[in-house]
Amino acid sequence: MDPINHIKVHKDSTFAMLLEAQRRCWRLRYLPPDSLFLQNGQVWARWQEITVTDDPHHWFDVVDEAVGLLSDCDVILMRKDPPFDMEYIYTTYLLELAEQAGVLVVNKAESLRSANEKLFTAWFPQCCVPTLVTKSELRIRQFLKENQDIILKPLDRMGGASIFRLTLSDPNLSVILEEMTENGTKTIMAQQFIPEIEQGDKRILLIDGEPVPYVLARVPKKGETRGNLAVGGEAIGMPLSDRDRWICEQLGGKLKSMGLMFVGIDVIGDYLTEINVTSPTCIRELDEIYSLNIAGILLDAIDQRLSDNASQNS
């Protein structure tokens, strides 16, 4: 995970997982982003054994430090935030070697590389609005002409960073396209604008392909088109709609088969917009609103997967 001393414990989903794992008497090893290394075909890590406390002022203690083989672990939760850069990819290669040594990695390393959080929606076109992925400014202009009102996104960011809403009358159209595509050298995504964003960008959590029965709608503040909590969106809980459940049914089997055990999809109105696989969040907010234990559901699924793997190998 990213540096544990910088997290906001009241909203951090990884911390919710740590609390639940400790409640079950699982030993917690914290691996900072730069802790992995490969030597003589084996993957090692410099880890800190920690305990955690749900206290916003003092939330963890280091009880031991060691260097050891990743194959000594039962399960590794890969919870590093984007950017999804080459360093991230190198980490997935090392985690894949750990998988070959028998460690359960959540989410599966190969699938983290395969399922770009913006582009993976293209595997489910029946769930999406008209979408274009290109580095061509000319094609984006044509897409804008056809759809009148669009959203532009980079493919490697999170938290609403560098997302633009464009209309034909925008005086900054040319410079936005130049900057986003880096003068036609960088691939980006364009999507038809969905007016229902006013009612919120719904985060739906799926565990081993099955949705949590409630969503967290991130409602944009006035004058903003992004609902992300990171940019000031208001969080409102609501039950899954029939359409939400249908979208989850379209995705669930594929996610499970790819070893994507914990996924957060974003739905605006009736349409899928993103499939978040790296470090989806909103556990703590939904737990608080609905008295849930989402981390407990996830760890139950992990425990079952560990048992299944043990049975297959016995």
Q: Backbone dihedral region of 313: left (phi > 0), alpha (psi from -120 to 50 degrees) or beta?
A: alpha
Mean pLDDT value of segment 199-212: 96
Summarised one tens digit per residue, pLDDT across range 31-75 is 987 899 999 999 999 999 999 999 999 999 999 999 999 999 999
Q: List the catalytic residue out of 156, 208, 244, 266.
A: 266
Spatial neighbors of 107 by CB under 8 A, at least 6 apart, are: 78, 259, 260, 261, 262, 263, 277, 278
In angstroms, rounded to a whole number, what is the distance separating the alpha carbons of residues 247 and 206? 11
Q: CB-side exposure of 32: number of CA atoms within 13 Å?
A: 12
- The C-alpha R_g of the chain, in whole angstroms, comes to 20
pLDDT exceeds 90 at position 224: no
231 has a pLDDT exceeding 70: no
Q: Report the Cα 151 to chain-centroid distance in Å.
A: 20
pTM (two decimals): 0.92
Q: Are residues 46 and 73 in the same domain?
A: yes
Burial status of residue 18 (CB atoms within 10 A of its CB: 0-12, 13-18, 19 or more): buried
Of the candidates 99, 117, 274, 285, the residue annotated as catalytic is: 274
- Residue 198 in contact with residue 222, Cβ under 8 Å? no
Specify the DSSP class assigned to residue 172: T
Q: Mark whether 108 is an active-site residue.
A: no
Q: State whether 45 and 72 are in the same domain.
A: yes
245 catalytic per annotation: no
Is residue 186 located within the same domain as residue 222? Answer: no
Whether residue 276 lies in the annotated active site: yes
CATH number at residue 150: 3.30.1490.20
How many domains are there within the chain? 3
- My answer on whether 188 and 222 are in the same domain is no
Mean pLDDT value of segment 87-96: 95
Q: What is the pLDDT of residue 160?
A: 65
- Domain end (from 193, 218, 238): 193
Q: pLDDT digits over 143-174, tens only?
A: 999 999 999 999 887 666 779 999 999 999 99
Q: Are residues 220 and 179 in the same domain?
A: no
Q: Are 287 and 16 in contact (CB under 8 A)?
A: yes
What mean pLDDT is predicted for residues 289-298? 98
Indicate if 146 belongs to the active site. Answer: no
Q: Is the pLDDT of residue 241 over 80?
A: yes
Q: Among this protein's residues, is 274 annotated catalytic?
A: yes
Please tell me which residue in 79, 80, 202, 226 is annotated as part of the active site: 226
Two tokens, residue 258: 């790819």
Model confidence band, residue 222 (pLDDT cutoffs 50, 70, 90): confident
Domain around 17: 4-108+303-313
Final residue of a domain: which of 193, 215, 238?
193
pLDDT at site 165:
93
Active site annotation includes 183: no
